[in-house]
Amino acid sequence: MDRPRRLRRTPALRALTREVHLHPSQFIHPIFVHERDTVTDIGTMPGVQRHSIDSAVQQAREALALGVPSVILFGIPDHKDATGTQAYAEDGIIQRATRAIKDSVPEVTVIADTCLCEYTDHGHCGPLCEVPGLSGADAWTVDNDASLALLAQTAVSQARAGADVIAPSAMMDGQVAAIRAALDNAGFTHTPIMSYAVKYASAYYGPFRDAAGSTPSVGNRATYQMDPAGGHREALREARLDAEQGADTLMVKPALAYLDVLNLLKREFDLPVVAYNVSGEYSLIKAAAAAGFMDERRTVLETLTGMRRAGADAIITYHALDAARWIAEDARA
């Protein structure tokens, strides 16, 4: 009789035969930075805050001390307008936060989220244009080609501020090619692009939009983010286009409902794959744990392990610091 249980008999045997391992170096810690001197709680994301620049530096330092070497920055400006000018301002909030972190904790890898949605007064990922023949909310969409120039300008300003990685998330056609060309022309040929290659129009983003103040005031993002029912064909097309245009890593966002897509990209492309464990996924676990329905520690580590098992080389997760602590505690036990 085959007895697979033999290798599950003790903790040591289970550890010895384990195929998937979690390590803090695989995590990317997201930081929301606003233009205030205060740190404010985000009600829909328990345990997550909007940070001042000084506090963001402390977050980066704490992450590094826990073995998490990378952070991704999301900016919340005081001023918003139709074209998101603060996204590419040389003294924009992300640019200043990047300089501060690189000056104080140069060992930390700073990834700059490159988008316009947090900076526009309408909450979309680029300037809007009218759609002929339609009315109401459907009459407006993002002007794809006008957005490319602004995203490229944003990427160069972020690289100039010291960002180690540029992460375009707007889902505009051709954005990777436009950003790659702009970075190269500005002398940043060494700066990699972490592309949000496969990003769905997901309900799981709700808490993030509260955190970043980026809820669209008109229409929705379904005209440029992917249809959750789109399937593998569309995912492969989007990822292949970004890879051909110069992406150095490919991302799947969200992660949990799209583990099949994550695994697909891992198998089909010879590039590192990143999973974004998004705000809604985080808040669901937090809410269930607070209600006593689930064990937070076990659930988080199991969830992150599932993303690694599906093929994620790295995971952007709001659980990063807690998970790093728990992994360290388990290693000492």
Report the relative pairing of strands 109-114 and 70-76 from DSSP bridges.
parallel
- Please, are residues 198 and 265 in contact by the beta-carbon 8 Å criterion? yes
CB neighbours of residue 129 within 10 Å: 15
- Closest by Cα among 75, 204, 82, 218 to 140: 218
- Nearest 5°: the CA angle 279, 284, 289 is 125
Q: How far apart are CA 6 and CA 215, in angstroms?
A: 52
Residue 234 contacts residue 260 (beta carbons within 8 Å): no
CA distances from 311 to 214, 274, 305 (A): 30, 9, 10
Tokens of 145: 């080609």
Longest Cα–Cα distance in the chain: 70
d(CA 276, CA 44): 18
Residue 67's CB is within 10 A of a number of other CB atoms, namely 16
According to DSSP, the β-strands at 194-199 and 128-130 are unpaired
SS3 assignment, position 29 = strand
Helix (H, G, I), strand (E, B) or coil at 127: coil
How far, in Å, are 49, 209, 294, 301, 312 from residue 20 at the CA level?
31, 32, 23, 12, 11
Instruction: Answer for the pair 153, 178: CB distance below 8 angstroms, yes or no.
Output: no
Residue positions annotated with a catalytic role: 199, 253
From 91, 110, 115, select the one nearest 30 (Cα to Cα).
Answer: 110
**Rounded alpha-carbon distances, angstroms, from residue 93 to 26, 73, 262, 316:** 26, 10, 32, 21
